[in-house]
Amino acid sequence: MGHRAAVRAGINDNGARPLRHGSNALFLLPHANLVARVGRPGSMTTARREVQIAAWLADQGLRVNTPAPGIEQPVIIADQPVTWWLPLLPHRHATTAELATVLHRLHELPVPDSLGLPALDPLAQIADRIADTTGIAPADRSWLLDHAAALRREVAGAIPARAAVVHGDAWQGNVVVPDDGEPVLLDFEHVALGHPDWDLVPIAVDHTDFARLSDADYDAFVSAYGGHDVTRTPWFRTMADIQELRWTAFVAQKAATDPRAATEATHRIACLRGEVPKPWTWTAF
């Protein structure tokens, strides 16, 4: 796959080695000094939009992961898109304050007409994914489906209408800080138009519902964002419940083939059902 795409693009992929396998697969091409990103089958539109979004954000003055110039983007092999990116400099994950600073700048950008960004739907495909899950107890699957349906009804009237450019997967690992200290925004697969508070919720629930974030780190996040604390909004709990359902559905999908995921999914569902007191401890997958 990657080799065929490299040949078509005229790229030297000798010595290519995997960097990460997730929803997308990343490979470092040391001789070409590039990173190849192999998308899921049928994700050509998303891959092309990612490249366009990165270029637009750079034009707006944000420092972002940079698409390789002068190369066809994307190359399509067997219905899978391959895009090419410049490798990152040595870096660390962002602090909460650094993440908030980048998000604040992102949310203040003008809404672009040229990119055709979709409207953010945080519950998109969640019910279908839960329904297809076979590695959890039927009663748990039924409860998750009912929970998703209830949240779908609840969110319809809970969130005020606001269209800003939102990242869609905002956490410290998607903003990295090279040695020169200027944060770099990564991963544009989920960029959409929606209420900016959706980007604040993952960090907020780390503070309110999990034993993952100190008071000081959360206060730094709020301060760096400009003082807005999403936990004080009337729609926070709805947003938080949706975020935690998404994280649970992600692990539940893996339960049929991974016993560790099955155990973790059962634990997470018990948390959502109120059977485990907060703060919760969830194992990352």
DSSP 190-205: T-EEE-THHHHHHHHH
Distance CA 14, CA 9 (A): 14
Question: How many Cβ atoms from other residues are within 10 Å of residue 106's Cβ?
Answer: 20
In this prediction, residue 72 carries a pLDDT of 84
Instruction: Round to whole Å and give the CA distance between 112 and 99.
Output: 22
Token pair in block for residue 42: 């049928």
Rounded CA-CA distance 192/284 in Å is 25
Per mean pLDDT, which range of 13-27, 81-95, 115-129, 177-191 is the poorest? 13-27
Whole-number percent of the chain with pLDDT over 90: 87
pLDDT digits (tens, 9 = 90+) for 228-240: 999 999 999 999 9
Residue 114 has pLDDT above 70, yes or no: yes
Task: Specify the higher pLDDT residue, 2 or 217.
Answer: 217
Residues in the chain: 285
Reading the block at residue 131, the tokens are 């329904």
3-state secondary structure of 87: coil
Reported as a pLDDT band with limits 50, 70 and 90, residue 45 is very high
Q: Confidence band (pLDDT; 50, 70, 90) for 26? A: very high
Q: Give residue 120's identity as a one-letter amino acid code.
A: L
Q: Cα torsion for 49, 51, 54, 57, to the nearest 10°? A: -50
Q: pLDDT-based confidence at 253, cuts 50/70/90?
A: very high
Domain spans of the chain?
A: 2-87, 96-272
Please state the CATH superfamily assignment of the domain spanning residues 2-87 in this structure.
Answer: Phosphorylase Kinase; domain 1 (3.30.200.20)
Per-residue pLDDT, 1: 62
- According to the CATH classification, is domain 96-272 in 3.90.1200.10? yes
Amino acid at 281: T
Mean pLDDT throughout 150-156?
94
Is residue 3's pLDDT more than 80? no
What pLDDT does residue 88 have?
93
- Mean pLDDT over 85-99 rounds to 96
CB 56 within 8 A of CB 47: no
Written as six digits, the tokens of 86 are 């410049």
Give the residue with greater pLDDT, 34 vs 161. Answer: 34
Q: pLDDT over 70 for what percent of the chain?
A: 99
Q: What is the per-residue pLDDT for 81?
A: 95
Cβ neighbors of 59 (< 8 A, separation 6 or more) are none
Q: Is the pLDDT of residue 92 over 80?
A: yes
Q: What is the mean pLDDT of residues 123-127?
A: 93
Q: What one-character DSSP code corresponds to residue 183?
A: -
- Which residues 6+ apart lie within 8 Å of 152 measured at CB? 123, 127
Which parts of 58-116 are beta strand (E)?
Answer: 75-77, 80-85, 91-93
For 140, the token pair is: 């748990």
Q: What is the pLDDT of residues 171-209, one digit of tens each?
A: 999 999 999 989 999 999 999 999 999 999 999 999 999
The answer on pLDDT for 213 being more than 90 is: yes
Q: What is the pLDDT of residue 267?
A: 98
CA distance 239 to 245: 10
